[in-house]
Amino acid sequence: MLEVDDLTVAYGGVVALNGVSLQVPEASITTVLGANGAGKTTLVRAISGLVAARGGSVRVDGTALTGMAPERIARLGVAHVPEGHGVISELSTEENLRLGCLWLGGANDRRAATEEAYELFPPLAARRRLPAANLSGGERQMLSIARALAARPRVLLLDEPSLGLAAVILAQIMQRLRELARSRNLAVLLIEQNARSALSVADEAVVLSLGSVVARDRAERLARDESLRHAYLGF
Binding site for another protein (CB under 8 A): 48, 50, 69-72, 74-75, 79-80, 82, 86, 88, 90-91, 95, 98-100, 102-103, 147, 151
Decide whether 141 or 197 has the Cβ nearer to another protein.
141
Count of other CB atoms within 10 angstroms of residue 177: 21
Q: Which residues, 6+ apart, have CB-to-CB distance to 230 below 8 Å? A: none
- Closest CB 87 distance from another protein, rounded Å: 8
Which strands form 212-218's sheet, in the order they lie side by side?
78-81, 155-159, 187-192, 28-33, 204-209, 212-218
- DSSP structure string for 60-114: ETTEE-TT--HHHHHHTTEEEE-TT----TTSBHHHHHHHHTTTSSSHHHHHHHH
- Closest CB 41 distance from another protein, rounded Å: 13
- Closest CB 80 distance from another protein, rounded Å: 5
Main-chain dihedrals φ then ψ at residue 25, nearest 5 degrees: -70, 165
- Closest CB 103 distance from another protein, rounded Å: 5
Decide whether 148 or 199 has the Cβ nearer to another protein.
148
Decide whether 18 or 93 has the Cβ nearer to another protein.
93
- Pairing between β-strand 187-192 and β-strand 155-159 as defined by DSSP bridges: parallel
- Closest CB 157 distance from another protein, rounded Å: 9
Backbone CA torsion sign across 31, 202, 172, 74: positive
Decide whether 72 or 182 has the Cβ nearer to another protein.
72
Decide whether 47 or 223 has the Cβ nearer to another protein.
47
